[in-house]
Structure 1
């Protein structure tokens, strides 16, 4: 069976509604997504109190908010500035876009809908986690066992290192 056309169900842009207007943030491109991911990882590392390397410190020192938001929001950034949006709105939109491109849509949506409030964000995260856990619970086996055996499938683990061996030998042919 052939896959459905990706554009039919995946929108590569991010649209943020603010004060009745929809601001469309175009996909920043792969290189910029990698750049945003690096900054997000470093910020999260610092927020967790982890030891930072000299490279991490350089990334944080380099983290120019204007450049960060301009990259994540694209043309929408200038439009927001031209529209005179309050700084809090632009900051929230910018952080949401950074999260969208670097972490994913679900986390970005939770952040957006929390208004940046850590308590509301934690509550939405807990709900999402519970929903995900409920949707992935397996039904118990009718035979009295609760594990399914998959015959004829490799486990993807090597016996000596416990790491996946499938990634190096992926077959991309039909």
Structure 2
């Protein structure tokens, strides 16, 4: 039986026996997304720029709070691969390429990349479990007090008066009770 958690590879023919595609294939995919539909001839300067952009993506993955895969080495050569999902790498390379080019599409692709990065890493970290939040510090509402710290005060006052009228004693009693609680 196969492993229960399988990872999708963007270009399985390029990844060969590895789970992750080499950087040069990811660069070609990023260039196609950027509108260069003939990226087969990439000169050395462009590839060196993409190695720098790929290392930015590696650093962003390493800093991400949902990344649990440990330290990742930087790229030194376009034939290397890293244990980062292919779609995250392609989205990151495309977004950083658009930023470098000053494209109007840069912000859209950056948002797409960041959303995909967070969603993919969160899914890899906790799976498809229901999320729950346990607020420890009381949150931002100053009136909030956790249930264990609720304070309730109760006070009761009773007054008795005696009056004599024509030899008959009568008494009247009035009571008041108040209760207040802070929640």
Q: Between Structure 1 and Structure 2, which shows a larger proportion of strand residues?
A: 2
TM range (shorter): under 0.3
Q: Between Structure 1 and Structure 2, which shows a larger proportion of helix residues?
A: 1
Structure whose alpha-carbon radius of gyration is higher: 2
Return the TM-score normalized by structure 2.
0.23
